[in-house]
Amino acid sequence: MTFRVCMVCLGNICRSPIAASVLRSKLEAAGLGGDVVVESAGTGSWHVGDGADHRARATLRAAGYDDEHSARQFVTRYYEDYDLVIAMDANNLRDLRRIAPEAEIGDRVRMLRSYDPTAKGDLDMPDPYYGGDDGFQLVLAQVERACDGLVAELRDKLNG
């Protein structure tokens, strides 16, 4: 059985492509790369078909991650395709729940930082788009911590 995960932010050019790349890398390192498919999407359609933001790509490359990406919009039918949909902030989470086909989607939609044991209270991952390079570094650090927790949970699901 292949488990499918979709990382979701607003435009699918900053946070979610970073999160997808980091998660893929960490899953490969954990020996789970063949068991989990990781993709990303945005709640908005502004950047469909675009690559990741140049600062996101530079941040990923500098940290040794793949920066290959093509933006797309999350649509309701994707709920049929993914076992887990992961939002980067509360606005993304609200938008994802609004378009969900079921009234109750339970644990299938989560916040990424809910997997980060150092995240206290505020689970929003800040959108670095309007800031400088330091915002992308912050996002990468938050993503890496959260993905460690997510990989552990996925390992348990797949082995349990």
As for how many domains the chain has, the answer is 1
The catalytic position among 57, 110, 127, 147 is 127
Measured distance between the N- and C-terminal CA atoms of the chain, rounded to whole angstroms = 13
Q: For residue range 121-145, list pLDDT tens digits in order.
A: 889 999 999 999 999 999 999 999 9
Does residue 15 have an active-site annotation? yes
Which backbone phi and psi does 41 adopt, to 5 degrees?
-160, 170
The catalytic position among 6, 14, 15, 110 is 15
Domain hosting residue 13, numbered range = 3-159
The model carries a pTM of 0.96
Which backbone phi and psi does 93 adopt, to 5 degrees?
-60, -45
pLDDT of residue 45: 96
pLDDT of residue 1: 75
- High-pLDDT (> 70) share of the chain, %: 99
Question: Cα separations (Å) of 58 from 38, 40, 62, 137?
Answer: 20, 18, 6, 10
Does residue 97 have an active-site annotation? no
The CATH number for 32's domain is: 3.40.50.2300
Average pLDDT score, the chain:
95
Does residue 148 have an active-site annotation? no
Between 1 and 28, the more confident residue is: 28
Average pLDDT over residues 14-35: 98
The catalytic position among 6, 9, 14, 147 is 9
